[in-house]
C-alpha cells in the first residue's frame, strides 16, 4: 500500500480542520469595535489551535515522508489521530467563549493530550512496521519532546482548577517547543 493517498487524505482533513475553526468566529451585527472585543479570546484561542494544527501537519508530513510503505494498522492509527484533531475546533470554540473556566481549559488540554498520544501510537506503529533498524527508528531516539509535551499537558490539565491562565501558558509553551520542525524525522527523510 502506498503512502501518497494517505498523505493526500490527511492533508485534506487537516486543511479542513484548520480552516473551519474560523467559522466559529461569527461576525457581530454591530459595526462598533466594542462588538469585536468579546471575540478577542476566541481569536487568540483560534490562533493557538491554528499553530497546533500547523505543527501536526508539519510533523505528520515529515513522519510520512520517512515511511515508504504503510499497512492497515498505520491507516487506522492515522485515522485515530485525525479523529482527535477533528475535535480541536469544538474545544477551541468552547475555550474561546469560556477562557477562565476550569473545564474548558482542562478539556482543551485533554484533546491535545489525546492527539499527542495518538501521534505517538502512529509513530510506534510505523516504526514497528518498518523495523527497529530503519532510519526513522534510529532518528526518533528517545522522543524527549513527545514525552515532555505529554507531561506539560497533564500539568496544564491539573492547573485548570487552580489557575487556568497557567494552563493557557503551558499550552503556548508546548506549541513553542514544537514550532521548530522535528529535525529527527526530517534528518531520516533527508538521508
The residue from 44, 87, 117, 187 that contacts a copy of itself (CB under 8 A) is 87
Contact by Cβ (8 Å): 175, 118:
no
Q: What binding mask, one character per residue, do residues 106-125 give for a copy of itself by CB under 8 A, x or -?
A: -x------------------
Question: Which residues have a Cβ under 8 Å from the Cβ of 63 and sit 6 or more positions away?
Answer: 122, 123, 126, 136, 182, 185
The residue from 54, 135, 166, 187 that contacts a copy of itself (CB under 8 A) is 54
- DSSP, res 144: H
Residue nearer to a copy of itself on the CB measure, 72 or 131? 72
Give the C-alpha separation, 22 to 10, whole Å: 19
Closest approach of a copy of itself to the CB of residue 89, in Å: 6
Closest approach of a copy of itself to the CB of residue 75, in Å: 6
- DSSP, res 174: H
Give the C-alpha separation, 111 to 127, whole Å: 24
Q: What binding mask, one character per residue, do residues 138-177 give for a copy of itself by CB under 8 A, x or -?
A: ----------------------------------------
Q: At 101, phi and psi to the nearest 5?
A: -100, 150
Give the C-alpha separation, 47 to 134, whole Å: 36
Q: Does 131 bind a copy of itself (CB under 8 A)?
A: no
Residue nearer to a copy of itself on the CB measure, 151 or 180? 180
189 beta partners: none
- DSSP, res 130: H
Interaction site with a copy of itself (CB under 8 A): 1, 5, 7-9, 11-20, 22-25, 27-33, 36, 47, 50-51, 54, 57-58, 61, 65, 72, 75-76, 79, 82-83, 86-87, 89-91, 93-94, 97-98, 101-104, 107, 179-181, 186, 189-190
Amino acid at each position: 500500500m502506498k503512502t501518497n493517498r494517505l498523505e493526500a487524505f490527511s492533508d485534506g482533513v487537516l486543511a479542513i480542520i484548520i480552516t473551519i475553526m474560523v467559522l466559529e468566529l461569527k461576525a457581530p451585527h454591530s459595526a462598533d469595535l466594542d462588538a469585536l472585543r468579546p471575540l478577542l479570546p476566541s481569536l487568540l484561542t483560534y490562533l493557538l489551535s491554528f499553530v497546533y494544527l500547523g505543527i501536526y501537519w508539519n510533523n505528520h508530513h515529515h513522519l510520512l515522508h520517512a515511511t515508504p510503505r504503510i499497512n492497515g494498522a498505520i491507516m487506522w492509527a492515522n485515522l485515530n489521530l485525525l479523529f482527535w484533531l477533528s475535535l480541536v475546533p469544538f474545544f477551541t470554540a468552547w475555550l474561546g467563549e469560556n477562557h477562565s473556566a476550569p473545564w474548558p481549559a482542562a478539556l482543551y488540554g485533554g484533546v491535545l493530550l489525546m492527539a499527542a498520544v495518538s501521534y505517538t501510537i502512529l509513530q510506534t506503529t510505523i516504526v514497528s512496521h518498518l523495523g527497529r533498524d530503519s532510519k526513522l527508528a534510529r532518528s526518533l531516539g528517545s522522543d524527549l519532546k513527545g514525552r515532555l509535551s505529554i507531561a506539560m499537558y497533564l500539568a496544564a490539565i491539573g492547573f485548570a482548577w487552580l489557575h487556568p491562565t497557567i494552563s493557557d501558558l503551558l499550552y503556548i509553551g508546548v506549541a513553542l517547543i514544537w514550532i521548530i520542525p522535528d529535525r529527527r524525522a526530517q534528518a531520516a527523510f533527508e538521508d
